[in-house]
Copies of this chain bind each other. A is one copy, B any other.
Amino acid sequence: MAKGQFLGEFEQVVLLAVARLEPTGYGATVRQEVEERTGRPVSVGALYATLDRLAAKGYVAVRPGPAEPERGGRPKRFLALKPAGVDALDASRHMLDRMWDGVELRRSASG
């Protein structure tokens, strides 16, 4: 095993969006959520690749939704956090908290 121990940077962001949007969040809304909250552009490929990895690791559950009466469109795949996903987020956060604890950043210009 090379790593597998920790959430990657983007994995963490995506997992948090899933947490926020569950149980009705799905690929497209998760993507939108991340873009809105972070101002960061997210390509479709990046999003789904990450979601797949997260699912493979047992962090998110995927539940196929029914067709909806809107105006065409493929059925959604609803996403939810699994217990292991909760633990992973928790662990990542605590690790960062410990690293940040007591660190004071001098502002680059004009303090």
Instruction: Name A residues whose Cβ lies closer than 8 Å to a Cβ of B.
Output: 5-10, 12-13, 16-17, 19-20, 34, 37-38, 40, 81, 83-84, 86-87, 89-90, 92-93, 95-96, 98-100, 102-103, 105-109
Contact = CB atoms under 8 A, between A and B. Distances in A.
A86 B103 contact: no
A16 B83 contact: no
This chain: copies in complex: 2
A95 B7 contact: no
6 contacts: A5-B40, A19-B103, A20-B99, A38-B99, A84-B108, A89-B105
Query: Per DSSP, are chain A's interface residues mostly helix, strand or loop, or mixed?
Result: helix
Contact of A38 (B98, B102, B103, B105): B98
Given A6-B9, A9-B12, A12-B9, A19 B96 contact: no
Nearest to A7: B9
